Amino acid sequence: MAKRTSTPPPEDDLGKVVDIDVEEEMRSAFLEYSYSVIYSRALPDARDGLKPVQRRILYGMSELGLRPDRPHVKSSRVVGEVMGKYHPHGDQAIYDALVRLAQPWTMRLPLVDGHGNFGSLDDGPAASRYTEARMAPAALLMVTSLDEDTVDFVPNYDDSMTQPGVLPAAFPNLLVNGTSGIAVGMATNMAPHNLVEVIGAARHLLDHPDCSLDDLMKFVPGPDLPGGGRIIGLDGVRDAYLTGRGKFVTRATARVEKITPRRMGIVVTELPYLIGPEKVIERVKVLVQSKKLQGISDVKDLTDRKNGLRLVFEVKNGFNPDAVLEQLYKHTPMEDSFGINNVALVDGQPQTLGLKDLLRTYVQFRTDVVRRRTEYRLGKRKDRLHLVEGLLVAILDIDEVIQLIRASDDAATAKGRLISVFDLSDAQAEYILELQLRRLTKFSRIELEAERDELQRLIEELEAILGDEKLLRRTVSGELADVAKAHGTPRRTVLLESAGTPATQTTPLEVADDPCWVLLSSTGLLARTSDAEPVPADGPRAKHDAVVGAVKTTARGEFALVTSRGRMIRMSALELPALPPLGGAPSLSGGAPLAVYVDLPRGEEPLTIVPLDAEGPGVALGTAQGVVKRVTTDHPARSDWEAISLRDGDSVVGAAALRDGAEDLVFVTSDAQLLRFPASAVRPQGRAAGGMAGIRLSPRASAVFFGAVDPAAENVVVTSSGSSDALPGTQPGSLKVAPYAEYPAKGRGTGGVRAHRFLRGEDALVLAWVGALPARASGAGGVALELPEPTGRRDGSGTAYPAVVAGIGAPVR
């Protein structure tokens, strides 16, 4: 670094005013300042990838003995040591550099093992007096063999001691951990990379010095950021690897999932490099308040140490989650750009380097380090071999050696006589004189000869490395491979050539009010289809395919739930989960439980769902006491209301929406009586009415089924018998399936006809259903069941059925 020197004025000129050129003085002063910032502060060395303050921190910790197997010490002690001996600048600047070396979200391979509050992406660290630090295992790789003359040492700021001008760096730290810094007139910004990939490229360059950039990019396809995420578009990455300058886009890792049974959400598990969750949340709140971002109802930061980052955005009903995610990418820091500017010092000069230049600089440096280390070790072993050979000469006649030393007047005389008598060198004679008598006990000729042979073998190996450039490179490559094996980790960042077509280009932000079907299964699951096509009547059986209620509406439409207490509860289709396009029998396994949307009192059961059409023949209701009612379509604008006034002890057993009023209304009783009569026989009534007589019941009998069927369709009657004394679902009983057309129509208020003959031990119907083919049955938990083939009405009782039927439904038409 160039230094400006000033000559003091002569003594006779003291007190005089000296005119200087201000422009020249400013130019020289600013130039000196620029050199200082570039060389001593902001830019890293391309060899070890460290700025001076980082290098001095690691060297200071190494000198303090803060190895990974030693206890942590106060960070302020490290800062004081570095500031007092090597880095004469502010303690806060040194501590900030120390903190950065310990942050796993900043460094791909941290060099400092921090203990305490070292901050986060959103908050700063605690003061140095509260935190503790020691060297991380990777830091040992930076200072290894530092005492073997591998690098040059330079004086410190006051020339009182020396410090390394560069660290040996057993791995390409500049590429692995990246860096950033702002100097005068220039800046550097380098992205972190994966250790295994960088070392693979470096080894390839060692074996093939003339390889191309494409060859190296097979090993290093792109940066590997500490926080993971995704890199979108690799053209900027290639430009950076080619010229040293480029730009790429980083994206958060997010997925759309169901966060509650009735709400979809966007879960973010990885954010762009150096972007914290608080920054994203703050930006989202501002955008939501300004109406620039729609569809977000809530945001929660569920990040913890066990599960890592977890940022949850709750999406409002009616908004497409994929489109909302694209809006988040567009308007928030969940998508960020990273500008690569590979500026580093090469031979003390700032240069912009591509990938191959960076690797070549490191490989040349590391090769020189290994060469100097080998030379140092060779010299040490030769010196030791020289001493061992002298000791072997002396130990053959140790008594004469001792007698010769005792007979000498002083050490100089003894050394001279040893040299002349035994033909020893000065160093050998000095070593023998410095030996303590107690050390002679462990020396033996055999041990010394074994040590001599081992030293000769090591010397041959070291000389072979120095004499063969290929062997030297192979040694460097092998050491790099060992580092990658010991410290390598899998890639965290996903590389994508492009982001694909944004969802907002193909899908609107809000869910369109398209026609759809709302389905209710026998196990109480609700869902809506993604189109208005009728649900296929055929196709493979599927779980939860016993549809007991179906309403044709729109995605933003409303429908009503009918309960056993005669209430109708208004519900919105928009809140329901959307099923994928149906390719066969519907599967409501992806639906949401009804209890998520409606909290029914104990004893009140859901029956079915019906439309809330302003026009139409209305809804037919049937009760356990045989009452039938046809409700008008004049529904109130309330969330729930009574559709029928029930008598004491009565309850609704079934409800059905009428299409044109030409349907048959059907009752099935517990004593196996079936009554069918036209819906036109029941006049519409208001909400306060209690209905009219539907079926005449025998003593102790009750209606177990009520519904409406199309008399022109192919319908069946399914009845299941059992014992009224048994607990529900404890015995299968018998099951009968008969054609509906074989049951004659009777007048409203009559007793109907016989539908099922009981076997021994049976006295009641436990389940009945009348509807169109193909009938779909489900057992406990929604397991699909196959019903037996229909038999004649007069065939008597049903056949034994091994499974307990939980519900039966018909295809949606």
CA-CA distance, 345 to 47, in Å (whole number)? 8
CA-CA distance, 245 to 353, in Å (whole number)? 8
Q: Structure tokens of 734?
A: 């018998």
Catalytic, 86? Answer no
Residue 606: asked if its preceding bond is cis (omega within 30°), the reply is no
How many CB atoms sit inside 10 A of residue 417's CB? 16
In this structure, which amino acid lies at residue 731?
Q
CA-CA distance, 499 to 518, in Å (whole number)? 35
Which residues, 6+ apart, have CB-to-CB distance to 288 below 8 Å? 294, 296
Choose among 705, 729, 701: nearest CA to 809: 705
Choose among 294, 187, 177: nearest CA to 226: 177
- The answer to whether the CB of 678 falls within 8 A of the CB of 652 is no
Choose among 737, 609, 715: nearest CA to 663: 715
Mind spelling out the 3-state secondary structure of 59-90? HHHHHHCCCCCCCCEEHHHHHHHHHHHCCCCC
Burial of 650 (0-12, 13-18, 19+ CB in 10 A): buried
Mind spelling out the 3-state secondary structure of 668-696? EECCCEEEEEEHHHCCEECCCCCCEECCC
CA-CA distance, 279 to 336, in Å (whole number)? 12
- The answer to whether the CB of 570 falls within 8 A of the CB of 640 is yes
- The answer to whether the CB of 516 falls within 8 A of the CB of 554 is yes
Question: Residue 725 CA to chain centroid, in angstroms?
Answer: 55
Question: Pairing relation of β-strands 734-739 and 715-722?
Answer: antiparallel
H/E stretch holding 93 reads: helix 91-102
- The answer to whether the CB of 644 falls within 8 A of the CB of 652 is yes
Numbers of helices and strands, H then E, in the chain: 18, 41
DSSP sequence for 742-782: GSPP--TTS--EE-----TT--EEEEEEEEESSPEEE-GGG
Active-site residue, from 130, 597, 740, 801: 130
Q: Which is it for the CA torsion 88, 94, 95, 96, positive or negative? A: positive
For residue 211, the 8-state DSSP code is -
- Give buried/exposed letters for 185-196 (b at 16+ CB in 10 A, else e): ebebbbbbbbbb
CA-CA distance, 679 to 676, in Å (whole number)? 9
Burial of 70 (0-12, 13-18, 19+ CB in 10 A): exposed
Q: Structure tokens of 407?
A: 């007979």
Question: Residue 629 CA to chain centroid, in angstroms?
Answer: 56
Which residues, 6+ apart, have CB-to-CB distance to 241 below 8 Å? 213, 216, 217, 220, 354, 355, 356
Catalytic residue positions, numbered: 130
